[in-house]
Structure 1
Amino acid sequence: MNVVQLGPLLLNLDLLISILSAFVTFLVIKMRLYRLNIEGIIAEKYSRAMMIGFFTWKLSFILFDPVSVIQYPMSLLYFDGGDRGIGLAFVTSLAYVGFRTRKDHTSLTLNLDLASAGWIAGSSMYQLLFLFMGTSNMLFHILHLLLNGMLAFCLYTSNRATLGMEKMSPCWIWYSIGMVGIFFVRESKSFIIAGFTKEQAVYIIIFLLALGFSNRLGQKKSKEAQ
């Protein structure tokens, strides 16, 4: 665990970086909604989803190691649910966004547009902060930032205000391939499935989903052309 001392307090540095990155994510989603001239109430959906994800990740330590929490309650300030907590946080946040999306009747395309903008901003801030701190995995952080820049260029440099699946799918296909590749240069890897890390497994799933969307759009256009 990386910590920074502020007077008598020891602060979890990873936690501080995650909070700052989440704040940047929210700001960029707000800016994107303003660019699209859409009501800001949708931003509240994502801010709540991030809060739910954060507290799920942080408090899942109680679920995975209740004995330590009972013996040392202050451990909640310094520890979290780790990788399992991140997975649980992702699922709960995604479920909340899905539930709210059904209620506000926003399109899948709009939600993916906002999620893409938020991901690019938040993950870039996360990588930048670790890069400036001079930690290990310098090459990985640089490559991650380059891929984020390429994804942003691919998605948001057109004159069209809104994105369509026909534009997002190819961008995410190539981005996912790149992300799978750069995790091979990351230090301290732990392989879990067929020589791939858990992060690579996630990007392979994203690649398959994007490829599926792309193929579906291609088949739809072929039918319309007939």
Structure 2
Amino acid sequence: MYTQQVGSFVLNLEIAVYLIAGLAGVLGIRLRMRRHPEKARMSAYAGNAVLLWLLVWKGSLLLFHPVDVISNPWSLVYFSGGANGIWLATVVSASYLIYRSMKTEFDVKAAGSLLTVMILGWTAIYYSAQAILLDDSVVRHSLMAIGAAALYMVMAIGSPADGQLSTVWLWLGLGKAALAFMEPDREPLILEFSAEQLAWLLFAGAMLVVVTRSERGKRFRERAGGKA
């Protein structure tokens, strides 16, 4: 937990980092939908998703450590559900955003693109904060922040294109797998790759298949259109 002493107050910087990270995702959605008539509505939904994430993340302590909360209710203010709480909050808020996107008559690909922008914005800010506030793994955190920020700009400002979503996730998966070599507590499992790296490589392989099939489909449609 990042904390900062200001006079007699102790500020919880972790909440501030997550809030700013979420707002970066909201900004990304506004940029991506800058010419779309539903920009205001989807931006509001994205803001709701950020608040929902924070509430679930903080409240997850009651789910994972109920005895601690019952014995000391103030623990909800100073603590959270940890990594499990982060995953739970991410699943809940992502499901909410996808649901709202589909209700707004976006297709699965468009909804996935909006969610990806949110995740990349969050990732870029989160790892930037890690690089600034922590003393270890500064280079790894900085590289991850730069990579996520670059992909974020591609998704937020670049023109939507066939295969763009899968390509972005392909590069993110490869980047996570490569930078994991710099983790000090990495435990090799197979061929010097850790379990986390193997999972990311498997994910990147799946995205490569999707990208390849998308490119083949695009060339097929172009040839079919030319013959017509």
TM-score after normalising by structure 2 = 0.80
Write out aligned runs for 1:171-182 (5 A). 171-182=168-179
Q: Is the 8 A contact 1:109 1:164 kept in 2?
A: no
Write out aligned runs for 1:107-146 (5 A). 107-133=107-133, 135-146=135-146
Name the counterpart of 1:67.
67
Instruction: Indicate the SS of the match to 1:10.
Output: strand
Write out aligned runs for 1:13-92 (5 A). 13-36=13-36, 38-92=38-92
Name the counterpart of 2:5.
5
Instruction: Indicate the SS of the match to 1:129.
Output: helix
Q: Is the 8 A contact 1:176 1:203 kept in 2?
A: yes
Shift of residue 115, structure 1, vs aligned partner: 3.0
Residue 194 of structure 2 aligns to which amino acid in structure 1? G
Instruction: Indicate the SS of the match to 2:163.
Output: helix
Equivalent-residue separation in structure 1 for 2:161 and 2:122 (angstroms): 22
Q: Is the 8 A contact 1:25 1:122 kept in 2?
A: yes
Relative to 1, partners in 2 of residues 1:102 and 1:192: Cα closer, same or farther, differing over 3 Å? farther
Q: Is the 8 A contact 1:165 1:213 kept in 2?
A: no
Q: How many residues align?
A: 221
Unpaired runs of 5+ in structure 2?
none
Instruction: Indicate the SS of the match to 1:5.
Output: strand
Shift of residue 218, structure 1, vs aligned partner: 4.0
Relative to 1, partners in 2 of residues 1:28 and 1:223: Cα closer, same or farther, differing over 3 Å? closer
Equivalent-residue separation in structure 2 for 1:2 and 1:120 (angstroms): 22
Instruction: Indicate the SS of the match to 1:136.
Output: coil
Relative to 1, partners in 2 of residues 1:10 and 1:149: Cα closer, same or farther, differing over 3 Å? closer
Unpaired runs of 5+ in structure 1?
none
Output the aligned Cα RMSD.
3.0
What are the Cα deviations for residues 1-29 of structure 1, in whole angstroms up to 9, with x where unaligned?
33222333323222221112212222232
Write out aligned runs for 1:145-156 (5 A). 145-152=145-152, 155=155
Instruction: Indicate the SS of the match to 1:95.
Output: helix
Equivalent-residue separation in structure 2 for 1:119 and 1:19 (angstroms): 13
Residue 63 of structure 2 aligns to which amino acid in structure 1? L
Equivalent-residue separation in structure 1 for 2:46 and 2:188 (angstroms): 32
Equivalent-residue separation in structure 1 for 2:14 and 2:66 (angstroms): 22
Shift of residue 189, structure 1, vs aligned partner: 4.9
TM-score after normalising by structure 1 = 0.80
